[in-house]
A and B are shown apart, each in its own frame.
Chain A
Amino acid sequence: MLASGSMEPALTLTNVSWRHKIRDFSNWKPWAKRDGPGIHSINLEIKPGFILGLIGPNGAGKSTLMRAICGLYDSDGFNKSSSSRRSGIGYMPEQVRWEGRVSVRNSLRTIAMMRDKEVDIDDIILKVGLSSKSENYLDDLSQGMRQRLSLACALLGDPKILVMDEPLNGLDPLAQRAFCNLLKDLASKGVAIVISSHQVTDLEALVDRIALLHHGQLLIEGTLPNVRKKLELDAGSGIVEMICSVTGINPEDISLDLANDDLLPFRQIGVEEE
């Protein structure tokens, strides 16, 4: 982590909102759509050199927020335009199923051609540990190797901000450790990192700050000790306890039959949706 202080944020989000369009079954028109879930009035500063962990239950809006940051959605509220954001951001989506009779190197080259500056593909391939697989077809890659390829795509063009959605999925423990080391190294060089992961133990050890999302709203953001303090949790409380605290679930009662609707909404956003 770089020395904090009054450094310029790499990206500022002010009242960023975006709603998915979903099929409107109440209408006879097959093409009719209505506003579905999304993110609501997100205010956030992404600072260089910090690793920000996005946490929250399923459907909280983490992936939606990440896509909005990466300019995949046409949403307002950023201090940079969508095209300038895309130039400085490396994005690693969740579980990309790379497939086809195309080599790893060729796939990476295709993505590299979409960047606005020259990229040393061999260097990136080496960095993510794909040197021995660079001429293999995508069809022949394991899930872990596919994750590495997605990471390689995110690292193309020396991005100032890295946005990573569940990057640890499918990686073996050694690769997870190497991955976390790489992220820490990049953060120490001033890269701002936004990461979401359900592997909370790894995440707790990795992140400098966390942002807790629920029902598309950013509930709380800060360093882990600060968040614990604000939520009146013990010093030993982890991310699970934080999520339980804001969703109103007793940690003892957690079970898979808990529907998302059972979770306590922080604000009654359903009323304004109607």
Chain B
Amino acid sequence: MEWVVFVVVALAAIASALGLVIRPNPLHGALFLVANLFCVAVLYLMLRAEFLALAQVIVYAGAIMVLFIFAIMLLIPGRAEEGPDPLVRARRLALPLAAVLGIVVVLVAGYTGGPAPGAAPGGVGAIGRLLFTDYLFPFEVTSLLLLAALVGALTLAKRREAGGSRPIDSRVAAEGR
């Protein structure tokens, strides 16, 4: 039974990842990525990582992907990948190189990890205890990182007052879209 769930979810994850890479429209790609994140959340549940499955859905599929879709809607770069590709030969080279990388990584991964142990590595309680004892310093550094990201994003998004570019709405209107 668990094998059936694993195979179905794994195939869905691979298909949605391929959809992200193949589909030209970035909005479709974002929705494919949401599907992929949900599939990985199901795999977390099967690995007995309930806290991470919930955090995956809330933080990734909820917050981060909303940010992505917001940016896509704001920028509308749906027609961005048109015209001749100046690096087409380099891109053709990328596929066989990626295939070699994939084969090597899958082969290496096949040699790792034994059978699953009987005991699951604790629940939310164990994670919380570990987070606030052994990993307390990285946890505090994380708060500093989030503060830096907040300030950086605000600084970047702030509109220059004098001599800056026109607001984005008038530009989009001028483009005749």
Q: Does A associate with B in a complex?
A: no
**Which A positions have Cβ atoms within 8 angstroms of B?**
none
**Which B positions have Cβ atoms within 8 angstroms of A?**
none
